[in-house]
Amino acid sequence: MPGCQCVATVPPVSFGEQSTTDEVLEGIDLSGSQTLVTGASAGLGQETARALAAHGASVILAVRDLEKGERAAEPIRAAASPDATIELREVDLASLASVRSFCDGVLADHDRLDLLVANAGLMAPPFATTADGFESQFGTNHLGHFVLVNRLVPLLVAGAPSRIVNLSSGGHRFGGVDLDDPNFEQQDYDPWVGYGRAKTANILFAVELDRRLRDRGVRAAAVHPGMIATELARHLTEESIASLMAARGDRKVVRKEVDAGAATSVWAGVVADADAVGGHYCEDCAVSPVVTDGKASPGVMAYALDPNTAEALWARSEELVGEQFTI
Residues assigned a catalytic role: 195
Q: Which of 132, 289, 127 is nearest to 193 (CA)?
A: 127
Q: Residue 33 contacts by C-beta under 8 Å, 6 or more apart in sequence?
A: 1, 2, 3, 4, 56, 57, 58, 114, 115
In contact, 143 and 189? CB cutoff 8 Å: no
Q: Which of 326, 2, 275 is nearest to 158 (CA)?
A: 2
Looking at residue 5, its amino acid is Q
In contact, 173 and 294? CB cutoff 8 Å: yes
For 313, phi then psi, to 5°, come to -65, -40
Looking at residue 64, its amino acid is R
For 100, phi then psi, to 5°, come to -65, -40
Sheet holding 162-167, edge to edge: 86-90, 58-63, 34-38, 115-118, 162-167, 218-224, 281-283, 286-287
259: left (phi over 0), alpha (psi -120 to 50) or beta: alpha
